[in-house]
């Protein structure tokens, strides 16, 4: 056992505010495992939410564990130390349960290595009664639970809060393993190997809660070492009222639900002593009917806000003013496709004119920098659509410059270009992935079209990672092994 690693975890814990360190006596123990590094995992609200929910129960002790950083992986190997929980620095194999939360498909690939480092067989059938019961959930397995179906003892589909009445009492019960499995077999929304999984049982449906207001989904542990660690994160809504045909959000989260302004402001109050910047999480924050009230409430408390996403067609003078009042000089917009024709096929519902007039509104409010998100490799995409991305970026830059006040003309437009990955259960499920050669050609074409355009830069997401994501998102029970081959 490496004392250096233990010391590192203790130091990490000491730098946090809000962690819960409980005595284990008589309690059911749960290791909450996020299969990526601490920095990324602690930027994920699901981790905060599950941690708070489980630790609020007197009969449960929940501790966190993450994929060690590269430097620490070497120390684990050198010292033959298994992955340890942050709070009590115990090996994960000593817990009664391991709950894996996975938001992004590519994190699946870290799971076999983590199990190996935990000295636990990767496949559920190889783990005996002395081993923890492994359950998994999160956005990625809700969309497709199959890749984890041989690894986890059970895959929970949908929102954890919807399982409070039966899964949490089951954890607290400390029943024998076989009794727990029998109870899981009967639970709606839970995939068990014994239920058979190819194809998925038709009755298997993710569970969702009807009302978000009674649930506080916000930062519960403040950690400067985490992504977004300088903010108090607050979930304002779940799902999305729009239904762009390529998008998995409406499938994962079901019906769109918003928190009331009062519930959001109560969470602002909870976090204000720790952070002066509020990260508002949701797909369409600016369209909240009480957005102005929420924004003013934050500003009146001497704090600012940062929305996780902004829809171009939700921008008006008032909302742009509020964004600017929160210090936003830069705004990110999802445009998805360069041409109106292609955007229509996605049901994106955003015209060029609407986009450009929103950009002008933002510029007048003081925004000088835009990040525009586009996808390439979309169904029915032509080379003309690729050229349209560059043309639209130029028009966006010109609009931004023209509308900016004279004193504020140092503008820039940054593009983020992502390969389209068809996701299961969306209307675009089953559409082809464009393939590496074709995507490389499109990237080259787009780079050429952008050329040396002044004030425009482009970042291209990895084609290789997108291909892996596509295979994992649409794969079966052997998807992880095949992707690692």
Number of residues that bind ligand SF4 (CB under 6 A): 10
List 250, 282, 338, 419, residue binding ligand SF4 (CB under 6 A): 250
List 19, 45, 244, 472, residue binding ligand SF4 (CB under 6 A): 244
233 phi/psi in degrees, rounded to 5? -85, 135
What is the spatial distance between Cα 115 and Cα 151, in angstroms, rounded to a whole number? 10
According to DSSP, the residues that pair with 156 across neighbouring strands are 190
What is the spatial distance between Cα 280 and Cα 45, in angstroms, rounded to a whole number? 11
CB of residue 240 to ligand SF4, shortest distance in Å: 3
Q: Which stretch binds ligand SF4 (CB under 6 A): 23-31, 153-161, 243-251, 469-477?
A: 243-251
Closer residue to ligand SF4, CB minimum distance, 247 or 265: 247
CB of residue 247 to ligand SF4, shortest distance in Å: 3
Interface pattern 327-366 for ligand SF4 (x via CB under 6 A):
-------x--------------------------------
418 phi/psi in degrees, rounded to 5? -120, 135
Q: How far apart are the first and last CA of the chain?
A: 31
283 contributes a contact to ligand SF4 by CB under 6 A? yes
What is the spatial distance between Cα 302 and Cα 292, in angstroms, rounded to a whole number? 15
Closer residue to ligand SF4, CB minimum distance, 158 or 250: 250
List 52, 192, 242, 442, residue binding ligand SF4 (CB under 6 A): 242
52 contributes a contact to ligand SF4 by CB under 6 A? no
Q: Which stretch binds ligand SF4 (CB under 6 A): 208-216, 236-244, 273-281, 288-296?
A: 236-244
Please give the residues from 301 up to 330 whose contact with ligand SF4 meets the rule CB under 6 A.
311
Cis before residue 97, ω within 30 degrees of 0? no
What is the spatial distance between Cα 80 and Cα 306, in angstroms, rounded to a whole number? 43
65 phi/psi in degrees, rounded to 5? -145, 150
Closer residue to ligand SF4, CB minimum distance, 177 or 256: 256
CB of residue 285 to ligand SF4, shortest distance in Å: 11
Closer residue to ligand SF4, CB minimum distance, 247 or 472: 247
Residue count (the chain):
485
In the block, tokens 């705004």 appear at 331
List 150, 212, 247, 356, residue binding ligand SF4 (CB under 6 A): 247
Contact 246, 421 (CB under 8 A): no
Q: Which stretch binds ligand SF4 (CB under 6 A): 137-145, 223-231, 240-248, 374-382?
A: 240-248
Q: Which stretch binds ligand SF4 (CB under 6 A): 71-79, 212-220, 237-245, 316-324?
A: 237-245
CB of residue 415 to ligand SF4, shortest distance in Å: 17
Closer residue to ligand SF4, CB minimum distance, 398 or 461: 461
CB of residue 97 to ligand SF4, shortest distance in Å: 32
User: Radius of gyration of the chain from Cα atoms?
Assistant: 23
Residue 261 tokens read as 């302004």
CB of residue 20 to ligand SF4, shortest distance in Å: 33
Contact 55, 87 (CB under 8 A): no
Percentages of the chain per state (helix, strand, coil), in multiples of 5: 40, 15, 40
Closer residue to ligand SF4, CB minimum distance, 64 or 343: 343
Residue 20 tokens read as 């819960």
What is the spatial distance between Cα 321 and Cα 286, in angstroms, rounded to a whole number? 12
219 phi/psi in degrees, rounded to 5? -60, 130
CB of residue 303 to ligand SF4, shortest distance in Å: 26
Residue 225 DSSP symbol: T
249 contributes a contact to ligand SF4 by CB under 6 A? yes
Closer residue to ligand SF4, CB minimum distance, 110 or 426: 426
CB of residue 311 to ligand SF4, shortest distance in Å: 6
- Could you count the other beta carbons within 10 Å of the beta carbon of residue 436? 14
Residue 480 tokens read as 């992880």
Q: Which stretch binds ligand SF4 (CB under 6 A): 7-15, 239-247, 288-296, 429-437?
A: 239-247
Strand 412-419 to 277-281 pairing? unpaired
Who contacts 412 (Cβ-Cβ below 8 Å, separation ≥6)?
368, 369, 370, 397, 455, 456, 457
254 contributes a contact to ligand SF4 by CB under 6 A? no
Closer residue to ligand SF4, CB minimum distance, 149 or 287: 287
419 phi/psi in degrees, rounded to 5? -65, 135
418 contributes a contact to ligand SF4 by CB under 6 A? no
Identify which of 446, 476, 483, 448 has the alpha carbon closest to the alpha carbon of residue 461: 446
Q: Which stretch binds ligand SF4 (CB under 6 A): 132-140, 241-249, 316-324, 465-473?
A: 241-249
240 contributes a contact to ligand SF4 by CB under 6 A? yes
Identify which of 288, 261, 272, 265 has the alpha carbon closest to the alpha carbon of residue 231: 272
388 contributes a contact to ligand SF4 by CB under 6 A? no
Kindly list the residues in this chain that would bind ligand SF4 in the complex (CB under 6 A). Answer: 240, 242-244, 247, 249-250, 283, 311, 334
């Amino acid at each position: 056992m490496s004392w250096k690693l233990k010391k590192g975890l203790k130091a990490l814990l000491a730098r946090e505010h809000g962690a819960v360190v409980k005595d284990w006596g008589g309690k059911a123990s749960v290791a909450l495992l996020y299969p990526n590094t601490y920095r990324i995992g602690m930027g994920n609200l699901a981790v905060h939410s599950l941690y708070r929910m489980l630790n609020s129960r007197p009969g449960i002790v929940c501790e966190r564990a993450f994929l060690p950083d590269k430097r620490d992986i070497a120390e684990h190997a050198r010292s033959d130390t298994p992955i340890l929980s942050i709070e009590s620095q115990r090996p994960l194999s000593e817990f009664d349960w391991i709950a894996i939360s996975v938001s992004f498909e590519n994190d699946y690939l870290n799971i076999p290595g983590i199990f190996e480092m935990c000295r636990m067989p990767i496949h559920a059938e190889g783990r005996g009664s002395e081993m923890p019961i492994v359950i998994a959930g999160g956005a990625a397995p809700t969309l497709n639970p199959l890749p984890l179906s041989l690894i986890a003892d059970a895959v929970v589909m949908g929102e954890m809060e919807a399982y409070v009445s039966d899964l949490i009492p089951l954890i607290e019960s400390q029943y024998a393993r076989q009794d727990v499995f029998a109870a899981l077999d009967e639970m709606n929304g839970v995939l068990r190997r014994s239920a058979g999984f190819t194809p998925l049982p038709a009755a298997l449906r993710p569970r969702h809660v009807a009302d978000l207001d009674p649930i506080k989904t916000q930062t519960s542990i403040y950690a400067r070492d985490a992504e977004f660690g300088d903010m108090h994160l607050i979930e304002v809504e779940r799902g999305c009222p729009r239904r762009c045909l390529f998008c998995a959000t409406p499938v994962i989260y079901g019906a769109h639900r918003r928190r009331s302004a009062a519930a959001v402001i109560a969470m602002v109050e909870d976090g204000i002593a720790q952070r002066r910047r509020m990260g508002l999480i949701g797909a369409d924050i600016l369209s909240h009917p009480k957005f102005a009230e929420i924004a003013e409430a934050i500003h009146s408390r001497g704090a600012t806000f940062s929305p996780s996403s902004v829809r171009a067609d939700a921008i008006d003078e008032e909302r742009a003013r509020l964004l600017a009042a929160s210090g936003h000089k830069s705004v990110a917009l999802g445009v998805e496709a360069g041409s109106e024709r292609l955007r229509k096929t996605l049901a994106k519902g955003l015209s060029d004119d609407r986009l450009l007039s929103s950009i002008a509104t933002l510029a007048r409010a003081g925004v000088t920098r835009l990040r525009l998100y586009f996808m390439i490799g979309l169904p029915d995409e032509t080379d003309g659509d690729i050229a349209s991305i560059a043309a639209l970026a130029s028009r966006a830059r010109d609009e931004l410059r023209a509308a900016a006040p004279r004193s504020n003309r140092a503008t820039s437009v940054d593009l983020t270009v992502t390969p389209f990955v068809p996701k299961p259960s969306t209307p675009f499920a089953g559409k082809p992935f464009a393939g590496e050669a074709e995507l490389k050609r499109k990237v080259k074409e787009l780079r050429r079209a952008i050329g040396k355009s002044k004030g425009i830069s482009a970042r291209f997401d990895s084609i290789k990672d997108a291909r892996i994501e596509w295979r994992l998102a649409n794969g079966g029970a052997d998807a992880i092994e095949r992707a690692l081959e």
